[in-house]
Structure 1
Amino acid sequence: MLFRSFAELVPFLLVGSVFVAAVVLAVNYRAIRNATRSWKSVAGTWLLSCWLLGVCLVTLMPRAGGALQERTISLVPLVHTFGTGLGAGNSNLVESLANVAMFAVGGFIMKLVAGSALSKVVVRCLVLAICIEVLQFALDLGRVSSLDDVIWAGLGSAIGAATAGLLASKMAAAVASPAR
């Protein structure tokens, strides 16, 4: 059900991904040609940009009847997720888990692309999540601006970055050790 809710965003993401690829290639053309930037790095930049586009589409598109609802902000931690019940069909819990998953992907990509420390990845994702929540409230999108979403984004990014770090270290160890 959650994925059907975002089905109308898929064409925007596909077209946006092609547009992002064109921009990333145009910006990095000389660096690629002069071999000062690798294709792997450019592909990572494109992947991270596509993730960011997807996050913006999912979180900043107005909900159906969005402007008809009153602006809502929830600043008490975890009340929106657990304090109001799990919602119809556990929708509050599903939305929270989807937020964790979405930012886990971002944390994973950021860790692999930038090679940043886990704490830097989490801080970047938290800043992004705070910006999203502020924009949701300021733009009156018919969404609840919730501290819970920031918490779940931080947790997801930490999970993703830690997973990427473990995977990278295991792959490095496998490459370094001779095959038996």
Structure 2
Amino acid sequence: MILASVLALPVMAATAVVLAALRRRRGMPVRIAWWRSVAEVGAVAGTLPWIWMILTPREAPRRVHLTPFRDLLAQLSDPGTAVVQIGGNLAVFAALGFFAPIRWPALAGPGRLFVAGAVGSTLVELAQYAFDLGRVSSVDDVLVNAAGATLAGFLSRRWWGEGADRMICVC
């Protein structure tokens, strides 16, 4: 997944350049065109590889865990598992959490980012179950994915003003 993401960097950069150029043709100011284009490409390119990995079928029965913190406590009993599982779940919607408030100022704020991450994660967990992918659909995954979106959003907070205060809706 990391290798594929690195190899896709030129495509992502080219996509941002093309999007910014198209926005400039429609009269959008240069700064706004670039912020929006980079934020959109970053959110999509940083989230899709994780979703692809999560929706890859496994040879196992599907399971559902609806008791909050059950999986987290089990994962914490093994440090190696905790790092991989919790770290991975924090990363799933991190790019979305980082870039969304820059691109869509209405999502700026920890509560809104948490809800956006939770909604996205719930859809992924439902897809895992509905498509019988041999994975565990867990409420803990939803909570940790949403926390990852929120925490990553805080990392981009200094740029929220670029969207919220200065972006004019010239769509």
The alignment's TM-score, normalised by the length of structure 2, stands at 0.73
Within 2, Cα distance between the matches of 1:96 and 1:71?
A: 20
Determine if contact 1:136/1:143 at 8 Å carries over to the other structure. Answer: yes
From 72, 79, 100, give the equivalent of 1:81: 72
Q: Measure how far apart 1:161 and its partner are.
A: 1.7
Does structure 1 residue 122 correspond to structure 2 residue 114?
Answer: yes
The aligned counterpart of 1:60 is 55
Structure 2: which amino acid aligns with 1:130? T
Structure 1: which amino acid aligns with 2:71? H
The change in CA–CA distance for 1:24 and 1:74 in structure 2 (over 3 A counts) is farther
Determine if contact 1:74/1:147 at 8 Å carries over to the other structure. Answer: yes
Structure 2: which amino acid aligns with 1:40? W
Q: Measure how far apart 1:84 and its partner are.
A: 6.5
Give 5+ residue unaligned stretches, structure 1. Answer: 1-5, 172-180
From 102, 107, 128, give the equivalent of 2:97: 107
Q: Deviations over 1:60-98 (max 9, x none)?
A: 122xxx1x31111111011112146635x6314531122
The alignment's TM-score, normalised by the length of structure 1, stands at 0.70
The change in CA–CA distance for 1:84 and 1:102 in structure 2 (over 3 A counts) is closer
Within 2, Cα distance between the matches of 1:169 and 1:142?
A: 39
The change in CA–CA distance for 1:169 and 1:71 in structure 2 (over 3 A counts) is closer
Determine if contact 1:100/1:155 at 8 Å carries over to the other structure. Answer: yes
The aligned counterpart of 2:167 is none
Aligned length: 157
3-state secondary structure, aligned to 2:132: coil
Determine if contact 1:108/1:162 at 8 Å carries over to the other structure. Answer: yes
The change in CA–CA distance for 1:21 and 1:54 in structure 2 (over 3 A counts) is farther
Does structure 1 residue 147 correspond to structure 2 residue 143?
Answer: no
Does structure 1 residue 25 correspond to structure 2 residue 24?
Answer: no
The aligned counterpart of 1:94 is 84
From 120, 129, 151, give the equivalent of 1:137: 129
The aligned counterpart of 1:178 is none
Q: Measure how far apart 1:146 and its partner are.
A: 0.8
Structure 2: which amino acid aligns with 1:139? F
CA RMSD in angstroms, aligned pairs only: 3.2
Within 2, Cα distance between the matches of 1:110 and 1:79?
A: 30
Q: Measure how far apart 1:106 and its partner are.
A: 2.6
Q: Deviations over 1:93-121 (max 9, x none)?
A: 53112211343343122122323222222
Greater CA radius of gyration, 1 or 2?
1
3-state secondary structure, aligned to 2:27: coil
Within 1, Cα distance between the matches of 2:43 and 2:126?
A: 22
Q: Measure how far apart 1:126 and its partner are.
A: 0.8
3-state secondary structure, aligned to 2:156: helix
